[in-house]
Amino acid sequence: MIPLSWYLIFAAALFCIGLYGVLARKNAIAILMGIELMLNAVNINLVAFWRYRAPDMIAGQAWAVMVFAVAAAEVAVGLALFISIYRTRKTIAADEINLMKW
Amino acid sequence: MTAVQIIFIVVAAVTLGAAIMVVTTRKLLHAAIWLILTLFGVAIFYVLLNAGFLAVAQVVIYIGAIAILMIFAIMLTRQLAIDIGPQVNRGWPWALLISLLLFGSLIWLFSNWSGVSTELPTLSSRVDPLRELGVSLVSPNAYVIPFELVSVLLLAALIGSIIVAWPRKENED
């Protein structure tokens, strides 16, 4: 049997790796990848708590499905934005995108 | 140590290693391929947690759609300078410090929480989690409204991304 704490520690590590990617990476697509890692860590926590703490309520899995859909929407809009920015500015480095800065 | 625990440790090590490669590797295309490996590892965890539907959805949505979409975007925005220069911004030691601090405080929280030693309850053989999930997503007493909202969100994202990425004529307006 796998203790619940193993899942929690794994998800915490995955979340922190994703957070580092979001904060440190320069390329905007790499930042999106970090966000994907963080969302996956959250999903593992949701499912692990469903399985260990409340297996007769399906809420954990239902919310994980919602997170899937939100992640897909976020990636679609984000990548469309980056391609549009690349077309006008020829860069997608996050610190060079300053069109809305004044 | 049982076989399941050994599988868990191996999968966790591979997944975390791949995740570290995603955020540190220099070439963006390699990062996308490490991301696919990470997502596969997470799918294996869903199987270990008796969430078969989520494991399949993980492979279909994350690996089949999101990762491939990212590879497309990387190739469309390819630029020589991006792969050569430093891949992290100036504040990366702060980012590392913040993530390590967050990890440490999360571990500290877990060690102080009594619920962390919960025994694994056995799933009763009468209820099928897959069927229960399907019913709860369309039942008015459960999650039909969030489900519909998410569909509207997906439609909005679909239309929005088409409009944002539409090539614009320079002297149209």
Q: Looking at the domain assignment, is residue A72 inside a domain?
A: yes
Q: Looking at the domain assignment, is residue A33 inside a domain?
A: yes
Closest Cα in chain A, distance from residue B173 (Å): 16
Helix (H, G, I), strand (E, B) or coil at A93: strand
Q: Looking at the domain assignment, is residue A74 inside a domain?
A: yes
Q: Is the pLDDT of residue B167 over 70?
A: yes
Angle, CA B70 vertex, CA B68 and CA B75 arms, to 5°: 100
| CA separation, residue B80 to residues B27, B75, B90, B151 (Å) | 11, 11, 21, 39
pLDDT tens, position by position, B72-117: 888 888 765 556 667 777 888 898 999 999 999 999 998 888 877 7
Q: Looking at the domain assignment, is residue A42 inside a domain?
A: yes
With bands split at pLDDT 50, 70 and 90, how would you rate the model's confidence at B151? very high
Tokens of B54: 């989520």
Q: Which pLDDT score, from 0 to 100, does residue B137 have? A: 87
Q: Looking at the domain assignment, is residue A101 inside a domain?
A: no
Whichever domain contains A23, its CATH number is 1.10.287.3510
Q: Looking at the domain assignment, is residue A61 inside a domain?
A: yes
Which has more confidence, B11 or A26?
A: B11
> Is A51's CB within 8 Å of B51's CB?
yes
Q: Which pLDDT score, from 0 to 100, does residue B28 have? A: 86
- Which residues 51-90 in chain A show a CB within 8 A of chain B? 51-53, 55-56, 58-59, 61-62, 64-66, 68-77, 79-84, 86-87, 90
pLDDT tens, position by position, B24-78: 888 888 899 999 999 999 999 999 988 889 999 999 999 998 989 899 888 888 7
Contacts of B120 in chain A (CB under 8 A): 1-2, 4, 51-52
Q: Which pLDDT score, from 0 to 100, does residue B84 have? A: 64
Q: Looking at the domain assignment, is residue A18 inside a domain?
A: yes
pLDDT tens, position by position, A27-56: 888 899 999 999 999 999 999 998 888 888
Nearest-by-Cβ selection for B96 from A3, A20, A84: A20
Task: Identify whether the C-beta of residue A17 lies closer than 8 Å to the C-beta of residue B23.
Answer: yes
Write down how long chain B is: 173
Q: Is the dihedral of CA B118, B1, B129, B133 positive or negative?
A: positive
So what's the ipTM on this one? 0.90
Please count the structural domains in chain A: 1
pLDDT tens, position by position, A80-102: 988 888 888 777 777 777 777 76
Q: Which residue of B has its CA nearest to A32?
A: B70
Residues B52 and B39: their CA atoms lie apart, in Å, by 15
Residue B15 pairs in a beta bridge with none
| Residue numbers of the domain that contains A40 | 4-95
Q: Looking at the domain assignment, is residue A15 inside a domain?
A: yes
Mutate to test the interface with B, among A7, A9, A15, A25 (most CBs of B within 10 A): A25
